[in-house]
Structure 1
Amino acid sequence: MCLKKNCGFSLLEVLISIVILSLTALGAVGLQLDTLQTSRQAAYHSIAVALANELAEEMRSNEAQMKLPDGENLFSSIKYDSRTDNNPPKSSTCYTSSANCGPVELARADIYEWLSNIQRSLPGGRVVVCRDAEPYSEAKASLKWSCSSDARSGFVIKIGWNSKKSQKETSESNEVATPHVAIPVESYVR
């Protein structure tokens, strides 16, 4: 026979254990969502690095364009924001056996294809290709969009996109917070 005080669990003990179990489950769900967001950002980062390397190789392979001064070099004037700019300007197709494309047409085709990939692959993708001696800001401890435009500096491909963190940073402006990737491009041509 049991005494009234010691017979089983009281309703209060059961409710407390349910609350503790619920808080633990909510914590696990929150952790899972954070892991999913981090995985997504890592995938975007990998895509951006691959796209930057792709453009760097296209720039290096178009020797005639890379020999031109910056004002005439089509690669040096790439500034694109998929949130505000229209679709990239279409160009002729230079990837068929019947195509007769020179360096300018080939550069336009490469840029069109590349910007289309940026638009499809990165949410709110933004790109700047410029000469920049210091793409990293020591004061802000981050990459920066502005360029030094020093003709002696090498080209830098800067890519950014909307991420959960950058949306908080830029909630009042219509700008991607900072570039997530900056790849220097050294031309094979001098």
Structure 2
Amino acid sequence: MKPNYSGHFKKQTGVSMIEILVLVIIMSIGLLGIAGLQVAGVRQTTNSGMQTQAMLLADDLIARIRANREAIVGSGSLVASMANYGKKNGVAFPTAAEAACSTSSGCTPAQMATTDLFNWSQLVQNSLPVNAARLSNDTYICLDSDTTDATVCDGLGSTLVVQIGWNETSSTDSSNNIQRYQMIFEP
């Protein structure tokens, strides 16, 4: 006698191959999302570190300017000249320090300013991803009479603006994004 199987299906136990395939696809998408978040987190941490480094470099230059006030401030405690510490957009930093500043006889405030700018530009190049063009075009020190308007560095007033620019290389493409940090102060 043959058993009658009509109407009596055995209940399935275990997991089918299709269910496993769907599970693998969903897990893969989730893991790719987590990996993307990790990459974005690392990039933001790097950018934050560069921003902090730029802030410290700007603060270092401000300390140098304040230590050599004679090179910038006149008799009335106002900025008399930006000839010593000023650096316009598109102009290169000094290419060498003044030799007199390394001797026991010392140097003039103007020579000290040149040495400060040279040494500081070397610090910027060693601390941030900066090429010569970026250092020349996006890093400047200037006077601005109104820091709230669109005109930066009008050459008037007593407020100094220090801007540092550097290259941020994206991990997703080969283009360079320019990052900038700007500090405003009264000497």
The TM-score range, normalised by the shorter chain, is 0.7 to 0.9
Larger radius of gyration: 2
- Asked whether the equivalents of residues 58 and 162 of structure 2 are also in contact (C-alpha less than 8 Å), the reply is yes
The alignment partner of 1:67 has SS state of coil
Aligned to 1:161: 166
CA distance in 1, matches of 2:53, 2:127: 7
| Count of paired positions | 167
- Asked whether the equivalents of residues 140 and 163 of structure 2 are also in contact (C-alpha less than 8 Å), the reply is yes
The structure-2 alpha-carbon separation of the partners of 1:16 and 1:98, relative to structure 1 and needing over 3 Å to count, comes to same
> TM-score by structure 1 length?
0.72
Alignment of 1:96-107 (within 5 A): 96=102, 98=104, 100-107=106-113
CA distance in 2, matches of 1:7, 1:103: 88
CA distance in 2, matches of 1:4, 1:94: 98
Q: Which runs of 5+ in 1 are unaligned?
A: 138-143
Aligned-residue offset at 1:60: 1.3
Alignment of 1:105-120 (within 5 A): 105-120=111-126
CA distance in 1, matches of 2:100, 2:50: 28
Q: CA RMSD, aligned part only?
A: 3.2
- Determine what percentage of the aligned residue pairs are the same residue: 25
Aligned-residue offset at 1:74: 1.8
Alignment of 1:1-190 (within 5 A): 6-67=12-73, 69-70=80-81, 73-79=83-89, 88-93=94-99, 96=102, 98=104, 100-124=106-130, 125=135, 126-135=138-147, 147-163=152-168, 176=178, 180-187=180-187
The structure-2 alpha-carbon separation of the partners of 1:31 and 1:175, relative to structure 1 and needing over 3 Å to count, comes to closer
Q: Which runs of 5+ in 2 are unaligned?
A: 1-8, 75-79
The letter for the 2-side match of 1:186 is: E
Q: Which fold has the larger relative contact order, with Cα–Cα distance below 8 Å and residues 6 or more apart in sequence? A: 1
**CA offsets per residue over residues 132-166 of structure 1, 9 Å max, x none?**
244456xxxxxx7x52424224111112222358x
- Asked whether the equivalents of residues 88 and 116 of structure 1 are also in contact (C-alpha less than 8 Å), the reply is no
> TM-score by structure 2 length?
0.73
